[in-house]
Structure 1
Amino acid sequence: MSTGEARARAADFAPNHDENFPIAFMLAPRDVRDDMRAVYAYCRVTDDIGDAGVATPKERLEALDAWEAGLHAAIDGRGDDPVLIAVADVIRRRSLPVEQFERLVEANRIDQRISRWDTHEDLLGYCTHSATPVGRMVLGVLGIDNVRSIALSDATCEGLQLVNFWQDIRRDLDERDRVYLPREDMDLFGVSVDDLRAPAASPALR
């Protein structure tokens, strides 16, 4: 598959997913729009491997390993997955650090092994894999690499990730048995896992 064909298929990927990120494509400069779509497609597929469907944690870990290996193969000019070919082209042309793309894969590995978090600091550590790499990918596509912008991006991505956790508390618990509220905070306010499952928020949870 040619790079052009892969980029076209990756560009078609974004409109088929119900998320806010694709809306940003309309605001991006024309010369970076396709690159942003390729990055989005990579992030979306990576998260789907870690979350979607009914696979076991072991199966997901194996799939994540294969996905990461496929990324490296695509960067080396091998492979046939359109999303990986498209994002590998972006990585090469824009000299993006592949570590940010690997971190997102690692976040999904962590999700297969850890379903509860003890401290807020631990959760923020997880965000350095699940959230901040995405912002840094976008900055890289835009050619922004100054320290202040990176720090602002990291803080914004961490904040958005925490908000996403809070709005999906019940869904994450029911569908994936994951709780992204730190135990120390739940203990401090007297919140139990049963409170998270309740149809209405308890006074402690509020």
Structure 2
Amino acid sequence: MSSIEHYENFPVASWLCPARLRPAIVALYHFARTADDLADEGDAPAHRRLEDLAHYKADLQACLSGAKNASTRWPGVFQALGAAVVQHQLPAQPLFDLLDAFEQDVIYTRVGQRYRDRTELMDYCRRSANPVGRLMLHLYGVQDATSLTQSDAICSALQLINFWQDRQQDVQRGRDYLPEGHTLAEELVFARGLMAQGAPLVKRVPGRAGWELRAVVQGGLRLLDKLDALQRQLGGDGTTWPRPRLHKSDVLLMAWRCCRM
């Protein structure tokens, strides 16, 4: 779906992306990727991660205020982001929402906190995943309420699918996204329903971007197929399952399904 690594389901520099938007998309990717690394990578203790994220948020505020040298620690990230903000008038709130979600990941992991219910988990998705879709729609000039709601559904579904396919690794790292009182089987059904709610968006996004979105949706649905199969074969809560992966045969099936959409 993308020509370089992606931050979760963030399409970056795909050949389907118009050349005029690629610098902004790459800038947003590196902003999110760097913040995610501050929250997750390496051996730094939780308090240091939170300090780094606080400095990162302060640099974001400086960048959005128009400061020429917004960051001494991450100059490449914020120079590119600042240019994208000015050129495309990007909204600020989705950027801050992403940082809030990364901070929450650090805090929840530190204290071993579970999500009490699906409402709490979906609030996390609202800040960790939905901003990506809203920023992408903004770049494509799609800002009506229906499209934003459908984008949120797709992005939340992709975030949940990412949790369930990485469940074994997440739990080992002290991070459990499965809401208390829910089974993984229930959450797989819920994620598929969210994707169905958002899928009509592929016909509202113009040009090649609509085809990229079709690929993203079908990729998520194909992973759900594989997770459903593991649920039937192995049962349990997913903590012992192998991580499902997409192969060439899956890509061919996804391409056929994209055309049918």
TM bucket by the smaller chain?
Answer: 0.7 to 0.9
Q: What's 1:4 paired with?
A: none
Equivalences for 1:4-43 in 2 at 5 Å?
15=4, 21-22=10-11, 25-43=14-32
Partner of 2:145: 147
- Shift in alpha-carbon separation, 1:70–1:138, aligned structure 2, 3 A: same
Separation (CA, whole Å) in 1 of partners of 2:39 and 2:23: 25
**Structure with the higher helix share, 1 or 2:** 1
Query: Do structure 1's residue 93 and structure 2's residue 84 form an aligned pair?
Result: no
Alignment gaps of 5+ in structure 1: 1-13, 190-199
Q: For 1:157 and 1:34, how far apart are their aligned partners in 2? A: 22
The answer to whether 1:203 aligns with 2:215 is: no
The 2-side partners of 1:187 and 1:139 are apart by 31
Q: Distance in 1 between matches of 2:97 and 2:157?
A: 18
Q: TM-score, normalised by structure 1?
A: 0.79
Instruction: Give the equivalent residue in structure 2 for 1:136.
Output: 134
Q: Deviations over 1:117-147 (max 9, x none)?
A: 1101110011011000111111112222111
Which contiguous aligned blocks of 4+ residues in structure 1 show a shift greater than 4 angstroms?
Answer: 16-20, 186-189
Relative to structure 1, the CA distance from residue 182 to residue 20 in structure 2 (aligned partners, 3 Å threshold; closer, same or farther) is: closer
The verdict on how the C-alpha distance between 1:23 and 1:85 changes in structure 2, with shifts beyond 3 A counting, is: closer
C-alpha distance in 1 between matches for 2:148 and 2:87: 20
Give the alignment partner of residue 181 of structure 1, picking from 178, 182, 189: 178
Could you say which residue in structure 2 is the equivalent of 1:171?
169
Distance in 2 of aligned mates of 1:52 and 1:179: 17
Instruction: Pick 1 or 2: higher relative contact order, CA cutoff 8 A, min separation 6.
Output: 1
Q: 1:126 to 1:88 in 2, by over 3 A?
A: same
Which runs of no fewer than 5 residues in structure 2 stay unpaired? 187-230, 239-261
Question: Secondary structure, in 3 states, of the residue corresponding to 2:14?
Answer: helix
Aligned residues: 182
Cα RMSD over matched residues?
2.5
AA partner of residue 86 (structure 1): A
**How big is the shift at 1:179?**
0.3
Q: Provide the rounded CA distance (Å) in 2 between the counterparts of 1:89 and 1:141.
A: 13
